Structure 1
Amino acid sequence: MTHPFHPWSGREFVFVAVRQTWSQDRVFFVDAEGRQFSLPVGWTDAAAPDEFVAMAAGRCPFRFADLAELRRLIDGLADRLHM
């Protein structure tokens, strides 16, 4: 797990497979108790490094696409609150 804000960040799991499901590539793995989970491939080291993250070399904690998506979600919530 490489996603910096996930509670499992830094932990290692037994890799099962990468599959496309729920319209995205996901990593399937099992934990120490044998339970299977899946996470977006971008939250793990199973994917090639993101080009922006590699170029930013730690100088920028957020990708533009992620910030734009966050803005879209905030706007949607704001619209719902003003109804």
Structure 2
Amino acid sequence: PAACISHENAASSSANQQLVRVTHPFHPLFARQLPCVGRRYNRHGERLLLQADDTAVWSVPPQWTDLVSPDPEVVMGNGRALLRVADLMELVDLVGRLSGKSATRSRGNL
């Protein structure tokens, strides 16, 4: 959707801002509805800029908000599974890199 696209500065009129709810259960802003003041892209993909107060702007992936439909794995888990298999595999890779072990070798031991 064309939600919270900002071609102006973050100080643009609040009338143009859409409210977005943070849905990721481990995010500090979970369940808060915040104005989206912009949209940016970085090497990890798209990020929404959410205004938490007068001075704080949080960069949040759209998947962690109500702008994106819930992930089918999470829905099928009916609240029991908070993490997707893809997220767990990414965590295995990260732990492997941080510990100096090969991510491929770590996956082979699963």
- Specify every segment of 5 or more residues in structure 1 that has no aligned partner in the other structure, as ranges: none
- Specify every segment of 5 or more residues in structure 2 that has no aligned partner in the other structure, as ranges: 1-21, 102-110
Q: CA deviation at 1:22?
A: 1.1
The TM-score, its normalising length taken from structure 2, stands at 0.60
Does residue 29 in structure 1 map to residue 50 in structure 2? yes
The TM-score, its normalising length taken from structure 1, stands at 0.76
Larger radius of gyration: 2
Does residue 14 in structure 1 map to residue 5 in structure 2? no
Q: Which range is displaced more, 60-69 or 46-55?
A: 46-55
Bigger share in helix: 1
- Candidates 67, 76, 79, aligned match of 1:58: 79
Percent identical pairs in the alignment equals 37
The change in CA–CA distance for 1:32 and 1:55 in structure 2 (over 3 A counts) is same
Please tell me the root mean square deviation across aligned C-alpha atoms, in Å. Answer: 2.0
1:4 is aligned to: 25
2:99 is aligned to: 78
Q: Which range is displaced more, 55-64 or 26-35?
A: 26-35
AA in 2 matched with 1:37: W
Query: How many corresponding residue pairs?
Result: 79
